[in-house]
Amino acid sequence: MTSPDELYQAHRELLDRAISAASARDYWSAFPESPSKKVYGDQAAPAGDRAFTALLGQTFAVDVPGAVGTVSTERSPYGLELGISYPKGDPQALVAAARAATPGWRDIGPEGRAGVAVEILQQLHARVFELAHTVQHTTGQAFVMAFQAGGTHALDRGLEAVAYALAATTRMPARASWSKGPLHLEKTATVVGRGVGLVIGCTTFPTWNGYPGLFASLVTGNPVIVKPHPGAVLPLAVTVQVCRAVLTSAGLNPDIVTLAAEDPGDGIAATLATHPEVRIVDFTGSSEFGDWLEANARQAVVYTEKAGLNTVVVDSTADYQGLLGNLAFSLSLYSGQMCTTPQNILVPRDGISTDAGHRSAAEFGADLAAALDKLLGDPRRAAGTLGAIVNDGVFSRLTEAGTAPAIVHPSTAVADEQFPGATIRTPLVVQLDAADEKTYTREWFGPVSFLITTDSTAHSLQVFSETVRAHGALSALVHSTSPSVLDAARSAALDAGVHLSENLTGGVFVNQTAAFSDLHGTGANPAATAALTDDWFVAGRFFTLQSRRHVDPS
Amino acid sequence: MTSPDELYQAHRELLDRAISAASARDYWSAFPESPSKKVYGDQAAPAGDRAFTALLGQTFAVDVPGAVGTVSTERSPYGLELGISYPKGDPQALVAAARAATPGWRDIGPEGRAGVAVEILQQLHARVFELAHTVQHTTGQAFVMAFQAGGTHALDRGLEAVAYALAATTRMPARASWSKGPLHLEKTATVVGRGVGLVIGCTTFPTWNGYPGLFASLVTGNPVIVKPHPGAVLPLAVTVQVCRAVLTSAGLNPDIVTLAAEDPGDGIAATLATHPEVRIVDFTGSSEFGDWLEANARQAVVYTEKAGLNTVVVDSTADYQGLLGNLAFSLSLYSGQMCTTPQNILVPRDGISTDAGHRSAAEFGADLAAALDKLLGDPRRAAGTLGAIVNDGVFSRLTEAGTAPAIVHPSTAVADEQFPGATIRTPLVVQLDAADEKTYTREWFGPVSFLITTDSTAHSLQVFSETVRAHGALSALVHSTSPSVLDAARSAALDAGVHLSENLTGGVFVNQTAAFSDLHGTGANPAATAALTDDWFVAGRFFTLQSRRHVDPS
């Protein structure tokens, strides 16, 4: 048995480094993102493959307090038969178990909890190849992306949340002395969690979007019930399994983290989210359910990350090929099934000025389509970038949008050698005018984007600011060589409440954010009430309780 | 004109000191609490008196955008004729003015805003004698208390909020460089306020409870509408007047801070609090309206400080006279009209052990009554401690409680030489049993306390924890010589979610908290959603928006 204090001592250097990176906002990562043998050795990949294969067709080995029967709800977008079942969660029993485990978790203090959290992250990292397979076959992310976004980047986001939570819960000293003339007091400050935490996972990024809330709630002193999306249970089931094993081996009650698997339609997310003892809700998913949670989970603080109208404003560029290649990749990565994928691309009707000369709006559309075809011309490479369509909802939106009268780039099927059953599609780009706001102010999550002609860049910025203020966004991008346009775009982004990327023409993409440096979400527009990760994301999860008494000053 | 940057430079040392004090939690104060001539000079007191007298019978000189007519709603608890009228606020016009002033306030940045805020505090301090009179004649606090709690301590609490807000808004660097292999980005982070702030003042501590929210919202980038209680407009009107003068002289739009005076029953607090553009609400006052705000001001973050069942658990003591004197003062100060005054005093039926021998519960009651009589025996000293009854609500609760069958200490009238019209009363202490929970789980704000007999100290702790969990509390006190009882009391306080004072027998009182060291409120029980001041109190008032772009690494 390794105590929480011993785990803290073992991981203290890493924690200090993580806190310092989060404060500096420069590049830092604790978990190498390359799945190459040079980094992970010869055996890691095949061992991960075997571990994943051993899970197939089994009842997953995780204790769930009060579970009744099992559920089996997943279907691989790659067509692999999963056949995994999970103990079915009972909301009342899960909350009761979480409550019972709370005092012991409170008493070990912030450092002990951070030590346990880092140990969990390290043990998940030891299973990162297995974890990548679980992400691939639930979300449809291609393997390398699943390894990175679903594995190492998710672990980085988890560690970032640990760092913020530890810094926030230790900023006020646990002991202080107070002297005023003849009066001398000793004071203590104790961090107490807000209550039971609930993490509601999504189907596309179960780990990347789930880990921040999970680890932020844990380190601030709360037990967490993990409620995965029925379509992506496995990555979070592995996570809960590791959490419980680490808790147990640290001599703690494992019910600090439990799994709440359900059949689609059981609605236990709503039951749990409105339970009086559930005081923290983290949610990633549809605007519809996110808005419902914000309105109805009144007894809890609710951190949501929903959807919006991610926007690109194209004014001018000094690197036209770079612009096209960068944007084509952003539209293609994981078939646009990212909450940060651009949907609305605003271009002046009269065209743009580039280093390759003036390009009309129509020419820009044709050039973007050509860039997509070039990027996705080789089927193997295309499959590795696009991944698979996660579910029927995405597919039906794609089908609906494909009936539009003016298509800039049609969506076509791509075959995958390894997984012939995979549903893989290239991005659809539809031509619209700024007047067609009924269409482009809807969210079309998936490989659907709009090339929207406007009167001018000023008009583009106005459409950008107004639509994002009203409907939200998680990302925005501007291309311009004009300092005054960039200034105006920054101002519009501040008004809209969205982060802005400028002139991305190389290997950084608008839909990607880096832990410890980039915030994901702002809270300032309707797409999210949280930013991953800032002080607001952790400060609502705990209280500081003081006690004070006279002491002899000698 | 002094620019915000120049104000920041001028006050930077004080700000650094305040941030460091808030971090260390040791004793520190920026505003001397003694109104003596030695500190403030010979002329400060008479000048303050003259300035206050000049306000009487006048229309108060403050510009209110869109005001229609005037209101005159105050009545001094000391019987002084005030006759002051104020421009009457129009909610829509106030919100529109606040919105229009926002961009300029955002653009000066956290340091500039903190510089302006400290300048406001300094200029309020220059008028602290006048401010004390305004507090005395609206709240009924005796002059010295009004000078301290309503003046210098309020300024300290305001500065503490400035320090927290500045630290929180500058923790993420405004500029960062990010390099990953060949990729180099420059990133900026801009703090943006959540929206219009609303501060709803109370009638007993308009400045002490109003300043933290006012200054926290200001420094984090928000305009603030100050809505005073109709019974205590003047202290906040002076505050708004100073804010607007400082803003104007710094070249800023004064509508960053506006006054919303109303007639009783106009209900503009509710109108403003539910306005879509009002995104932050700070409220101090009744549980009834506080709960209503939490339930209905859904578009805003709502920081409330309401009422609760402040509890004293008496087990044993090594300084019986110290205990009695300390408790008698806590019950008497400002006639118990503090949200932190003890209401429920729990004593084992079999009595307590003290350095003066065993005392039965009845003997303890008699000794406490004697201590009250001793403290309040001299009318002049009594008036200086008790202050005046603020309004009819307090008076009618006192009258109702006085009909109880078993009175430990009756409430009696005290005459004030200087203000014969003042309504001054000593504290009422009523004998109850733990079974009389229908009575003591009600809040009896004012000079009404209960001496409640229990089966044992363990029973007392159970009653303490259960009633505070259910009904809330802002303070708690335990007296015991037993380490195990103190441990159990600390544990009960953590469960109840309330700060705990232990064995206070000297010059520190359970109903007083010190800025920069003691938190006021916890958020962990129903009495408040906020603590003055912690990171949670400021983190919800702003967002951080990033932008990023490629740079040449050279």
Domain coordinates in residue numbering, chain B: 4-174+186-273, 311-502
Between chains, do A550 and B505 touch, taking CB under 8 Å as contact? Answer: yes
* Chain A residues within an 8 Å CB radius of B540: 536, 539-540
B387-409 tens-digit pLDDT: 999 999 999 999 999 999 999 99
Q: Which two tokens stand for residue A430?
A: 């539809």
Between chains, do A192 and B517 touch, taking CB under 8 Å as contact? Answer: no
- CA distances, B203 to each of B229, B235, B338, B411 (Å): 6, 10, 11, 22
Say what the pLDDT of residue B401 is: 97
Between chains, do A517 and B178 touch, taking CB under 8 Å as contact? Answer: yes
A414 phi and psi angles, rounded to 5 deg: -125, 135
Strand (E) or helix (H) holding A401: helix A392-401
Q: Which two tokens stand for residue A223?
A: 């037990």
Q: What is the rounded distance in angstroms from the CA atom of residue A207 to the CA atom of residue A158?
A: 9
Q: What is the rounded distance in angstroms from the CA atom of residue A109 to the CA atom of residue B288?
A: 35
* Chain A residues within an 8 Å CB radius of B536: 539-540
Between chains, do A171 and B23 touch, taking CB under 8 Å as contact? Answer: yes
Name the DSSP letter for residue A427: P
Nearest-CB residue to A540 (from B25, B503, B536): B536
Among all residues of chain B, which has the CA nearest to that of A186? Answer: B26
B5-36 tens-digit pLDDT: 999 999 999 999 999 999 999 999 999 999 99
A52-79 tens-digit pLDDT: 999 999 999 999 999 999 999 999 999 9
Shortest CA distance to B138 belongs to which of B78, B210, B58, B227?
B78
Q: What is the biggest distance separating any 2 CA atoms in chain A, rounded to whole angstroms?
A: 85
pLDDT over threshold 70, residue B554: no
Nearest-CB residue to A192 (from B295, B494, B500): B494
Nearest-CB residue to A550 (from B506, B545, B546): B506
Shortest CA distance to A148 belongs to which of A322, A306, A384, A325?
A384
B165-198 tens-digit pLDDT: 999 999 999 999 999 999 999 999 999 999 999 9
Between chains, do A519 and B194 touch, taking CB under 8 Å as contact? Answer: no
Between chains, do B168 and A546 touch, taking CB under 8 Å as contact? Answer: no
* Chain A residues within an 8 Å CB radius of B543: 497, 522-524, 531
| A258 within 8 A of A67, measured Cβ to Cβ | no
**Mutating which of A292, A485, A547, A551 best tests the B interface, going by the most B Cβ atoms within 10 A?**
A547
* Chain A residues within an 8 Å CB radius of B523: 543
* Chain B residues within an 8 Å CB radius of A178: 25-27, 514, 517
Give Cβ neighbours of residue A185 (< 8 Å, ≥ 6 apart). Answer: A177, A178, A179, A548, A549, A550, A551, B508
* Chain A residues within an 8 Å CB radius of B544: 519, 522, 531, 534
Between chains, do B534 and A539 touch, taking CB under 8 Å as contact? Answer: yes
Q: Where are the alpha helices (DSSP H) in B79-152?
A: 91-107, 109-126, 128-139, 143-147
Shortest CA distance to A194 belongs to which of A428, A547, A542?
A542
Nearest-CB residue to B519 (from A503, A539, A544): A544
**CATH class assigned to A40-171+192-306:** alpha beta
Name the DSSP letter for residue B210: T
The Cα of A82 is separated from the nearest Cα of chain B by a number of Å equal to 37
Between chains, do A522 and B536 touch, taking CB under 8 Å as contact? Answer: no
Say what the pLDDT of residue A132 is: 98
Nearest-CB residue to B497 (from A192, A295, A534): A192
DSSP-assigned states of every residue in B285-343: S-HHHHHHHHHH-TTSEEEEE-----EEEE-B-S-HHHHHHHHHHHHHGGGG-STTS--
Q: Which two tokens stand for residue A502?
A: 């400028």
String of b and e for B518-542 (b: at least 16 CB within 10 Å)?
Answer: bbbbbbbbbbbbbbbbbbbbbbbbb
Say what the pLDDT of residue A28 is: 97
Between chains, do B500 and A194 touch, taking CB under 8 Å as contact? Answer: no
Q: Which two tokens stand for residue B207?
A: 């400045």
Q: How many Cβ contacts (< 8 angstroms) between chains A and B?
A: 175
Q: What percent of chain A has pLDDT over 90?
A: 99
A402: amino acid identity, one letter: G
Among all residues of chain B, which has the CA nearest to that of A22? Answer: B172
* Chain A residues within an 8 Å CB radius of B299: none
Radius of gyration of the CA atoms of chain B, in A: 24
Q: Which two tokens stand for residue A305?
A: 């990350």
The Cα of A546 is separated from the nearest Cα of chain B by a number of Å equal to 5
The ipTM (two decimal places) reads 0.96
Q: Which two tokens stand for residue B490?
A: 């600390």
B413 phi and psi angles, rounded to 5 deg: -80, 145
DSSP-assigned states of every residue in A171-237: SS-SEEEEEETTEEEEEEEEEEE-SEEEEE--SS-TTTTTHHHHHHHHHTT--EEEE--TTS-HHHH
Among all residues of chain A, which has the CA nearest to that of B298? Answer: A295
Among all residues of chain A, which has the CA nearest to that of B189? Answer: A499
* Chain A residues within an 8 Å CB radius of B550: 503-506, 508
Between chains, do B550 and A508 touch, taking CB under 8 Å as contact? Answer: yes
* Chain B residues within an 8 Å CB radius of A504: 550
B504-541 tens-digit pLDDT: 999 999 999 999 999 999 999 999 999 999 999 999 99
The Cα of B413 is separated from the nearest Cα of chain A by a number of Å equal to 33
- The confidence band for B243, taking pLDDT boundaries of 50, 70 and 90, is very high
The Cα of A456 is separated from the nearest Cα of chain B by a number of Å equal to 23
**What's the CATH code, domain A311-502?**
3.40.309.10
* Chain B residues within an 8 Å CB radius of A517: 176, 178, 187
Radius of gyration of the CA atoms of chain A, in A: 24
| Range B421-437 average pLDDT | 97
Nearest-CB residue to A173 (from B25, B505, B519): B25
- Reduce the DSSP state of residue B411 to 3 states and report it: coil
Task: List, for chain A, all residue ranges whose pLDDT scores fall below the cut of 50.
Answer: none
Among all residues of chain A, which has the CA nearest to that of B494? Answer: A545
Name the DSSP letter for residue B152: I
| Range B270-276 average pLDDT | 98
Shortest CA distance to A64 belongs to which of A268, A258, A247?
A258
B57-84 tens-digit pLDDT: 999 999 999 999 999 999 999 999 999 9
* Chain A residues within an 8 Å CB radius of B533: none
Between chains, do B543 and A523 touch, taking CB under 8 Å as contact? Answer: yes
String of b and e for B387-407 (b: at least 16 CB within 10 Å)?
Answer: bbbbbeebeebbeebeebeeb
* Chain B residues within an 8 Å CB radius of A519: 544, 546
| B294 within 8 A of B457, measured Cβ to Cβ | no
CATH topology of domain B4-174+186-273: Aldehyde Dehydrogenase; Chain A, domain 1 (3.40.605)
* Chain A residues within an 8 Å CB radius of B303: none
Q: Provide the β-strand partners of residue B30.
A: none
Say what the pLDDT of residue B489 is: 98
Say what the pLDDT of residue A554 is: 62
| Average pLDDT for chain B | 97
Strand (E) or helix (H) holding A432: strand A428-433
- Reduce the DSSP state of residue A262 to 3 states and report it: coil
Say what the pLDDT of residue A108 is: 97
Between chains, do B549 and A26 touch, taking CB under 8 Å as contact? Answer: no
Among all residues of chain B, which has the CA nearest to that of A523? Answer: B543
